[in-house]
Amino acid sequence: MSYPKPSGRSLLARHLTPEVWRLLNDKETRYGVRLAHVVASGLANPDSSVGVYAGDEESYTLFAPLFDPIIADYHGFGPEDRHQSDLEVARLNAPNPDPEGRYVVSTRIRVARNLCCFPFGSALTRRERRIVEATVVRALEDLPGELAGSYHPLYEMDETTKERLIHDHFLFKEGDRFLEAAGLNRDWPDARGIFHNPGKTFLVWVNEEDQLRIISMEPAADLQRVFARLARALAELERRLAFAHSERLGYLTSCPSNLGTAMRASVHVRLPGLAADEARLTALAAAHGLQVRGTHGEHSASEGAVYDVSNKRRLGITEVEAVRELANGVAALIAAEERA
């Protein structure tokens, strides 16, 4: 395959030079992942922001001449940097940014994980994806106390239930064109599903963009309690499953934007005053290290002036620091809303 010059302004377009292509194009990981696989989504979607997906853990080292500049660009994380995780609730000290409940509708903290010793989602065979599902579900069905729940395979779910769960922000949307071009939607809906406790405050997505999306969520803005539930769940799951992880990059994920903590901590916050100037809202959020999404997450618009506001940085920051950064940033947005 000759050098496929990427168009657009993605990090792929910026860093897939002819030299990098010549250097890496004939290499293959032990799971058979090649460079063409890694760059497929960004080549097919010139409007990508990142444009690459790792096919396995080894992609991050074998294709480092492409991934390292992308990681440095997105996270400000250099080749000599080392990620540190910190899930110690006692060190969080994140004040509730909206104790009277006037602005924050709900809080959600999620982390991505992939099992070690398997390819990632874009390179799994149907058989491997079913083994991942069975392995993960066996661990989930063994969880104690508040984390106990049940698994609901997508392929056994009626459309009404699926649409209700998506509408209510509990279930992932069917894969978008970026995931499609990466091969992450292959064999859909086979071996995909959602685990949740009766109250839907603890949920796990199985085999979406990553093999696990582990989620703690509830109404209002008690970030401390949402984080504590997630930390308990991760401690239980780390005893039952081995996750793809590297000393340098932390938890390894399909998309490099999720590396490190692999955490996105978000609030749904109603900001009718700031909604009048979304560019200003986005700039104000960015000044506090926060990202703004629509009411239904990535690639969606805001409804009723409700915005999904979350930490942008995932790598080179600890989980505790990311959640504290969100708490402080949301408090600043609420103060600006009260002045708007």
CA separation for the pair 173, 64 (Å, rounded): 31
Q: Which helix (DSSP H) or strand (DSSP E) does residue 195 occupy? A: strand 193-196
Nearest to ligand DAR of 94, 206 (CB atom): 206
C-alpha span between 252 and 195 (Å, rounded): 22
Distance between CA atoms of residues 76 and 6, nearest Å? 23
Structural contact between residues 135 and 176, judged by C-beta atoms closer than 8 angstroms: no
Exposed/middle/buried for residue 10 (C-beta within 10 Å: 0-12, 13-18, 19+): buried
CB of 285 to ligand DAR, least distance (A): 17
H/E segment holding residue 308: strand 306-311
Q: Determine, following the binding rule CB under 6 A, whether residue 48 of this chain makes contact with ligand DAR.
A: yes
Report, in Å, the least distance between residue 104 CB and ligand ADP: 8
Q: From ligand DAR, ligand ADP, none, which one binds at residue 49 (CB under 5 to 8 Å depending on kind)?
A: ligand DAR
Binding mask 214-253 for ligand DAR (x = CB under 6 A): ----------------------------------------
Q: How far is the CB of 83 from ligand DAR (least distance, A)?
A: 18
Q: Which of 15, 40, 43, 51 binds ligand DAR (CB under 6 A)?
A: 51
Binding-site ranges for ligand ADP (CB under 6 A): 106-108, 110, 169, 213, 217, 264, 266-268, 293, 296-298, 308
Query: Closest separation between CB of residue 338 and ligand ADP, Å?
Result: 20
CB of 38 to ligand DAR, least distance (A): 12
CA distances from 288 to 19, 245, 311 (A): 37, 28, 9
Q: Does 255 bind ligand DAR (CB under 6 A)?
A: yes
Residue 178 interface partner, choices ligand DAR, ligand ADP, none, CB cut-off 5-8 Å depending on type: ligand DAR
* Nearer to ligand DAR (CB atom), residue 178 or residue 307: 178
Cα separation of 128 and 139, whole Å?
Answer: 17
Told to check if 257 binds ligand DAR by CB under 6 A, we report yes
Helix axes 223-238, 319-339, angle to 10 degrees: 160
Are 66 and 52 in contact by the 8 Å Cβ rule? The answer is: yes
| Comparison of 193 and 256: residue with beta carbon closer to ligand DAR | 256
